[in-house]
Structure 1
Amino acid sequence: MGTVSLRLNDKDDILIRKYAELHNMDLSTFIRQAVIEKIEDEYDLSLFDKVWEEEQDEERISHEELKKELGL
């Protein structure tokens, strides 16, 4: 298992520790979860951007038009 060292000023250190404590998490778990969520968010956004670009030239219909086509 790897170890990461993180340097923080006193204000940030207190903020992060208090937040983790407030959510009943140990510091290591909180930081690991926050970093993984950040990576997942950026990946999701890049995937969205890719799909958005690919779909720009596709024909679209409104929600109302789709309901008419489906007989709803």
Structure 2
Amino acid sequence: METINIHPNEEDARVIKEYVEAKQLHLSTFIRDVMIEHIQNERDVNRYHETMHHYQKEPKAISFEEMMKELDGE
């Protein structure tokens, strides 16, 4: 397992520790989950922008079911 160090300032560290304790979470799990969620959100936003750019070039309406088939590669 890889180790990554972070160095928050005292106030940020205090806020993070208080939050983790209040939610009864493990600090490392919480930080990992937040980082992964942030990356996934950024990917989703980028995908949205790419899709909107494509749609603006070629507007075409499709049903939700058609969209899901395209995403699943059917």
The one-letter code of the counterpart of 1:38 is H
The one-letter code of the counterpart of 1:58 is P
C-alpha deviation, 1:51, in angstroms: 0.4
Match of 1:67 in 2: none
Match of 2:19 in 1: 19
C-alpha deviation, 1:15, in angstroms: 0.4
Note the residue ranges of structure 2 that are not aligned, 5 or more in a row. Answer: 62-74
Match of 2:52 in 1: 52
Q: Which is further off, 39-48 or 12-21?
A: 12-21
Q: Percent identity?
A: 32
C-alpha deviation, 1:20, in angstroms: 1.3
Note the residue ranges of structure 1 that are not aligned, 5 or more in a row. Answer: 61-72
Regions of 4+ moved over 6 Å: none
Equivalence map 1:53-72=2 (5 Å): 53-56=53-56, 57-59=58-60
Aligned equivalents of 1:37, 1:18: Cα separation in 2: 20
C-alpha deviation, 1:59, in angstroms: 4.9
Aligned equivalents of 1:33, 1:26: Cα separation in 2: 11
RMSD: 1.2
Match of 2:39 in 1: 39
Once the two structures are superposed, what CA deviation does each residue of 1:4-60 show, in whole Å capped at 9, x if it has no partner?
111111111010111111222110011001100100000000000000010113156
Aligned equivalents of 1:4, 1:59: Cα separation in 2: 45
Please give the TM-score of this superposition, normalised by the length of structure 1. Answer: 0.76
Aligned equivalents of 1:54, 1:34: Cα separation in 2: 30
The one-letter code of the counterpart of 1:44 is D
